Chains A and B, each alone.
Chain A
Amino acid sequence: MKRVIVLSAIALAMSNWATGNSERNYIEVVGSSTVYPFATAVAERFGKGTSFKTPKIESTGSGGGMKLFCNGIGTGHPDITNASRRIKINEYNMCHENGVKEIVEVLIGYDGIAFANSKDSPQYSLTRQDIYLALAADIPNPDGSETFIKNPNITWQDVNAALPAVKIEVLGPPPTSGTRDAFVELALEGGCKAYPWVKALKKVNKPEYKSRCHTIREDGAYIEAGENDNLIVSKLEANPSAFGIFGFSFLDQNAEKVQGSLVDGFAPTFESIADGDYSVSRPLYFYVKKAHVGVVPGIEQFLREFTSEGAWGEDGYLVDKGMIPLSFELRTNMAKSVKSLNNLVLN
């Protein structure tokens, strides 16, 4: 009896082995964990509302997704990759080297990154420079000598005399996270550039400029709290003097527990991010392999669903999920370019 079971299982495995590789009748999506909640919402609608199978979506991070996506053409490779930043030139080149020559770029909306604390504490009003001075590993010497010193700031008051004397404690994602990349680029570098001589450094010595502006301090003021944003929110609740860095959708869902600090005068709200006033926000993209359109069933229809007003419009369900929509004009143009499957060209 046992022999029969074992043999049949092996036979089953072998037969599947043979058939499993050839065809794929569902869309395969990889990429950013920030776009994941939005892409999955569209995929689910698409799967339930049409006769196509529901796309499979893996959250691999923007960089990991690009690697898989650019690996080649054929149903063994994913059809779409999500990214919380634009494709980089070296990734674009890697794609081309592997035969992925025709890529359609879709800008879907924006995501704000909140710098938030517990509602039990007062709401802070910060500038990007404050954030930089609080979190960078090295900061410009306050005596104006155009050199860097190790970040000596212990309390927020050290950073900016107008702020309270509360110890700097920030919970944020680890270096593997796209949220952290974006935060470093937008908030830290934004504050760093405010020093004219540092900005000048960019032209002279770009690597040094980058390492000065992008390195987060490692003396305990910045605490790596893992990729789970829910965890950061509950830690903020327990520790009212700490700040957390996470995506806007988590702020939106936990409005009674945490508040986003004002950055350069604007709080992270739906309107301020959509209007571009809130500076710590980033565009969200996905990229489609044109060679797979027509080979894997449903890609065109999936794109149509994603770019429909019911999904990414101002009253669409993606907005309910916390995505900030594009302007109406941008949406119309983008939908048009997606429909005609325009190729992305990067130089």
Chain B
Amino acid sequence: MSQTTIDIVNKNLAKRYAREKRFRLLGFGSVMIGFAALVFLLVTIVGDGWGAFKQSSVRLQLNFDQSVLSIEDVADEEQWQYGNYIGVIKAALRERFPEMTSRAQKKLIYRVVSPGADHQVRQLLKKNPEWLGSRQEVWLPADDDIDSFVKGHVDRSLPESDRRIKDTQIVLVDALQESGDLKLKFNTLLFTAGDSREPEQAGIRGALVGSFLTLLVTLSLSFPIGVAAALYLEEFAPKNRFTDVIEVNINNLAAVPSIVFGLLGLAVFLNVFGLPRSVPLLGGIVLTLMTLPTIIISSRAALKAVPPSIKEAALGLGASKMQVIFHHVLPLALPGMLTGAIIGMAQALGETAPLLMIGMVAFIVDVPGSLTDPATVLPVQIFLWSDSPERAFIERTSGAIMVLLTFLITMNAIAVLLRKRFERRW
């Protein structure tokens, strides 16, 4: 008996279905692996970093006594600057715990408040000069060891020598918490302060402003240059070996490791042009080099997507080449170009390697005010914190990662929205 075609098909049908099912499962499995990795990443980062947005604060009755502060001449700015603010805090702590009298005990009570809190007190008094000579209730950040303990990162049952926080301090913390003088509050310093060596004083404002200034330079350089290059290559350039070489090179540059751009920046902008180290201007220029290929490639794709019929119609109606480009092609391609630019910017926002070579990986406390102030950027801040010995920096590292991720997601969402909103099909 001879087999008909349908018999052969029927015989293999079950096998074919099984194969298809396996393939689908494989694909689904791959998606799930990726998804699980993402969920794991987010859960660990949010789990670690959540605590960074809260900070233990201690309420103290500060006595702004002129003699303790050694501000004798109210008109003298110097005296306000160099006033003995630590003395005021220490006096308030001694007053709060009169039973702690020995030198060792006093040392422990002084450690309740952040060692950088005198800076806050100075700022407060500068803002409210009328406080001088009066008693005021003030919330000050607690020391990072106390903060870790309050957040439950320290095991009380460990032997005292294995803890950074001593038994006497635990008694203090319990007493403070009971009277409501020690509370977890929203960590505003994280968003208003620059970097600090004290975790409780450290903030990402400096890095955020640095990132903003750097990206401003990058965008204002790379977008016009990228669009102009794409327009020329797409609309004007003759097709010859020379433009072929340029095209291949642009595509290659997009895949060059970013550290190479940093080395280029070091060799050219620092050593030849003598730009200052560690400034957003230089960082922006280096990141421009890195994002240019991305922007050129996406801009060219956007230009290519404009249907030739529109160009031809405009030419047919007597428009010049310039008019065709600026009245028709560019407006239609702009959403695609912007999307490419935003994605390029998001890449630049997350970059650290090229900045390493030009000195932007540095400890900078002051928030930068201009393009030539020393600055660092958000991912560098994360890198620096992750390398710090203080334990409380672990949660701040994750907190900063959360902020960075929020920015990246927002930027990418804007890119998607733009594409959806202005996308046109012909």
Contact = CB atoms under 8 A, between A and B. Distances in A.
Given A10-B220, A20-B281, A48 B371 contact: no
Contacts of B216: 9
Interface string B272-284: 0011111101000
Given A253-B164, A256-B155, A76 B366 contact: no
Contact of B364 (A9, A54, A317): A54
Contacts, number: 116
Nearest to A253: B389
B152 to A, nearest CB: 14
A56 B361 CA distance: 10
Given A10-B220, A20-B281, A48-B119, A255 B162 contact: yes
Counting contact residues on chain A (CB < 8 A from B), the size range is: 35 or more
Nearest to B107: A315
A155 B391 CA distance: 33
B155 A40 contact: no
Counting contact residues on chain B (CB < 8 A from A), the size range is: 35 or more
A228 B361 CA distance: 15
B366 A44 contact: no
A297 interface: no
Interface of B: 81-82, 107, 115-116, 118-119, 122, 155, 158, 161-164, 196-198, 216-217, 220-221, 224, 274-279, 281, 359, 361-366, 370-372, 374, 386-391, 394
Nearest to B217: A13
B276 A21 contact: yes
A24 interface: yes
B158 A256 contact: yes
A229 B389 contact: yes
B81 A44 contact: no
A49 interface: yes
Contacts of B281: 13, 16-17, 20
B164 A43 contact: no
Given A26-B374, A253-B164, A255-B163, A37 B197 contact: yes
A20 B361 contact: no
Nearest to A251: B389
Given A48-B116, A54-B366, A40 B275 contact: no
9 contacts: A9-B220, A12-B371, A21-B275, A33-B387, A37-B389, A44-B198, A58-B278, A253-B389, A255-B163
Given A16-B371, A20-B281, A230-B389, A53 B366 contact: yes
A256 B162 contact: yes
Contacts of B374: 26, 56
Given A54-B365, A57-B363, A76-B274, 6 more contacts: A16-B281, A37-B389, A51-B81, A58-B278, A253-B391, A256-B163
B70 to A, nearest CB: 14
A13 B389 CA distance: 38
A211 interface: no
Nearest to A233: B389
A37 B155 CA distance: 27
A145 interface: no
B167 to A, nearest CB: 15
A44 B197 contact: yes
B230 to A, nearest CB: 16
A36 to B, nearest CB: 7
Contacts of B365: 43-44, 47-48, 54
Given A10-B220, A16-B370, A254-B391, A43 B363 contact: yes
B162 A24 contact: no
A56 B364 contact: yes
Q: A-B pairs with the 9 shortest C-beta distances?
A: A9-B220, A20-B372, A54-B365, A256-B162, A57-B363, A58-B362, A40-B363, A41-B197, A56-B374
Contacts of A16: 281, 370-372
A322 interface: yes
Nearest to A315: B107
A9 B197 contact: no
Contacts of A119: 162
A56 B362 contact: yes
Contacts of B371: 12-13, 16, 20
A5 B221 CA distance: 11
B372 A19 contact: yes
Given A21-B274, A43-B365, A317 B390 contact: no
Interface in A13-30: 13, 16-17, 19-21, 24, 26, 28
